[in-house]
């Protein structure tokens, strides 16, 4: 009997021992995490106020339990100092590493290249630091046939820091072998080209950056403007070239950073223009400073035809929609459109219905109310839902079918492409109703021009339905104006994004209207 009891007590399968084992494992994880944190905290304290003895610091760190070991300690040290912006300490550590007899790993080289780029922003690099960058460029290309994109990015930035723009241009070409250069790579090189008076090369690279959906960052605008101010002294000539930069901002459909906006504000203000921060009225696009209205939002016939063709190819003929539907359903849908279309407005039924609180009756009630709203405006309505909705309250569903054209997709089908396609195939006048921002469908369009056209079509035609806290339906109409940088009656209106801009409002798909620049020439008296 006692032996039986002992077997039960000491058996690893008992729940009691299992709990003990589990607690011990948890404790081990906690200790390990604590030790890892201890190592990092120890290093941070040592580099916080002084430059330590690196040999001693490495030995003391490795004597502690944790995740920092012989293999990663140098990279971790560099990363901690870079993140803490302890650049002089990092520079001291870099000299320590270079004096060692060991061959530097590619990770350490990348860390040092990043360090020297950051140092170049605050001070001139020493001859030894410049030599290291050039030697790294030569050695890395000799050691590896093709450099990875991270190494290329680090090398490009470091080469720009010492004005080696020709070598940096070659590195940019290397990045294209494995991917697409980042915004920072393009802007850093463009800035360096302007800095070295290479305007032709800079403008060519600006076009390439736009083709690759890489809008310019502040440093590129800063050096572009510095180039203009350095090369030209006549006020009219300077304004003409600044006009070209504004036209680029307009063409690329970008929102400036707050730093770039401040530079533009100061430049035009010094040129005698009236310069004010402003907001754009959502109702009609009116500037609240000069009262000018932004350009009406309207796709050309050619733009809409281009969009209509590509949407049909991508979402109907292509593979994107076949992933979640069947050829039979597509044929049925296209036959339905041919028979019942064109429509004035297409409703995303589930998206609208689920705006209502409560059960199916409330959801159907809301959907019927929205249909009634558009029918009263003599609009032909298409309701696109899913087949499980046919099991909702039959009387309300039948009312819906009598009021509007209705098509219900299979429950596993992706319904967004259906209502987008129905709307676009119906013609340039057709609107849609949905709170879906449709971001995913812009990614289907590979061409950047088409993405912009689709976004503008969406702004021009998308209604949204919201319910106020008092239960009242609120209809948000489509935008009536182009919400990007533009010139109106010799005045420029340019959007910018405030740093850490936070809004508590529901994202209703409306672009930034709260922070704009209003630039207008003073009227001569």
The Cα–Cα gap between 148 and 171 comes to 11
Q: H or E element: which one contains 431? A: strand 431-433
* Cβ neighbour number for residue 78 with a 10 Å cutoff: 21
Does position 25 have pLDDT exceeding 90, yes or no? Answer: no
pLDDT-wise least confident of 49-63, 159-173, 181-195:
49-63
- DSSP secondary structure of 300-346: -HHHHHHHHHHHHIIIIISHHHHTTS-HHHHHHHHHHHHHH---SEE
* Cβ neighbour number for residue 466 with a 10 Å cutoff: 13
Does position 18 have pLDDT exceeding 60, yes or no? Answer: no
In the chain, where the domains are located: 33-242, 243-295+479-525, 301-476
Cβ contact 42:80 at 8 Å: no
The architecture CATH gives domain 301-476: 3-Layer(aba) Sandwich (3.40)
The architecture CATH gives domain 33-242: Alpha Horseshoe (1.25)
Rg (C-alpha) for the chain, rounded Å, is: 31
pLDDT digits (tens, 9 = 90+) for 146-161: 899 999 999 999 999 9
User: Euclidean distance between the first and final Cα of the chain, in Å?
Assistant: 113
pLDDT score, position 298: 92
Rounded to two decimals, the pTM is 0.80
Average pLDDT for 501-517: 69
Residues 6+ apart with CB under 8 A from 41: none
Cβ contact 439:292 at 8 Å: no
Looking at per-residue pLDDT, the higher value among 323 and 468 belongs to 468
The alpha carbon torsion through 413, 417, 418, 419 (nearest 10 deg) reads 130
Cβ contact 86:104 at 8 Å: no
* Cβ neighbour number for residue 378 with a 10 Å cutoff: 7
Cβ contact 434:352 at 8 Å: yes
Cβ contact 220:257 at 8 Å: no
Cβ contact 481:293 at 8 Å: yes
Question: Alpha carbon 495 to chain centroid distance?
Answer: 17
Report the alpha-carbon angle 79-85-90, nearest 5. 60
pLDDT digits (tens, 9 = 90+) for 291-300: 999 999 999 9
pLDDT score, position 35: 55
DSSP 8-state class, residue 389:
G
Report the alpha-carbon angle 348-350-352, nearest 5. 70
Cβ contact 157:188 at 8 Å: yes
Average pLDDT for 49-67: 90
The alpha carbon torsion through 512, 515, 516, 518 (nearest 10 deg) reads 150
Does position 483 have pLDDT exceeding 80, yes or no? Answer: yes
pLDDT digits (tens, 9 = 90+) for 342-351: 999 999 999 9
């Amino acid at each position: 009997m006692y032996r039986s009891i002992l077997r039960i007590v000491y058996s690893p399968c008992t729940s009691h021992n299992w709990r003990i084992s589990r607690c011990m494992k948890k404790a081990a994880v906690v200790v390990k995490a604590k030790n890892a944190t201890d190592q990092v905290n120890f290093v941070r304290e040592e580099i916080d106020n002084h430059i330590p003895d690196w040999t001693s610091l490495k030995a003391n760190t490795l004597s502690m339990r944790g995740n920092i070991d012989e293999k990663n300690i140098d990279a971790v040290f560099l990363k901690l100092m870079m993140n803490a912006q302890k650049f002089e300490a990092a520079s001291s550590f870099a000299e320590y590493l270079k004096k060692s007899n060991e061959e530097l790993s590619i990770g350490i080289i990348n860390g040092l290249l990043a360090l020297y780029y950051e140092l170049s922003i605050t001070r001139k690099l020493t001859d030894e630091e410049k030599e290291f960058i050039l030697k790294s460029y030569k050695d890395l290309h000799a050691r590896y046939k093709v450099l990875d994109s991270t190494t290329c990015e680090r090398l490009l930035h470091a080469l720009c820091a010492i004005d080696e723009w020709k070598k940096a241009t070659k590195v940019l070409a290397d990045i294209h072998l494995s991917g697409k250069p980042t915004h920072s790579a393009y802007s850093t090189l463009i800035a360096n080209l302007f800095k070295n008076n290479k305007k032709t090369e800079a403008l060519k690279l600006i076009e390439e950056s736009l083709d690759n959906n890489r809008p310019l960052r502040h440093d590129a605008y800063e050096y572009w403007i510095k180039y203009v101010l350095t090369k030209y002294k006549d006020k009219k000539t300077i304004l003409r070239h600044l006009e070209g930069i504004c036209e680029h901002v307009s063409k690329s459909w970008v929102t400036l950073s707050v730093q770039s906006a401040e530079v533009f504000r100061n430049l035009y203000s010094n040129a005698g223009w009236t310069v004010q921060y402003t907001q754009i009225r959502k109702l009609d696009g009116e500037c609240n400073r000069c009262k000018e209205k932004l350009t009406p939002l309207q796709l050309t016939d050619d733009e809409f035809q281009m969009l209509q063709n590509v949407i049909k190819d991508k979402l109907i003929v292509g593979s994107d929609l076949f992933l979640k539907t069947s050829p039979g359903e597509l044929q049925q849908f296209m036959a339905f459109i041919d028979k019942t279309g064109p429509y004035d407005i297409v409703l995303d039924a589930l998206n609208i219905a689920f705006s209502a609180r409560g059960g199916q009756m409330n959801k159907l009630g809301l959907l019927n109310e929205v249909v009634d709203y558009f029918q009263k405006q003599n609009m032909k309505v298409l309701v696109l839902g899913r087949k499980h909705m046919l099991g909702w309250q039959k009387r309300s569903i039948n009312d819906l079918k009598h009021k509007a054209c209705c098509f219900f997709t299979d429950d596993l089908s992706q319904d967004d492409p259906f209502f987008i396609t129905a709307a676009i195939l119906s013609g340039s006048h057709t609107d849609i109703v949905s709170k879906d921002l449709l971001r995913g469908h812009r990614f289907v369009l590979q061409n950047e021009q088409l993405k912009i056209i689709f976004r503008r079509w969406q702004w021009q035609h998308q209604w949204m339905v919201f319910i106020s806290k008092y239960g009242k339906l609120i209809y948000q109409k489509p935008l009536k104006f182009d919400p990007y940088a533009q010139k109106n009656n010799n005045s420029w209106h340019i959007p910018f994004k405030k740093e850490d801009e936070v809004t508590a409002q529901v994202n209703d798909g409306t672009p930034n209207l709260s922070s704009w620049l209003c630039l207008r020439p003073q009227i001569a008296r």
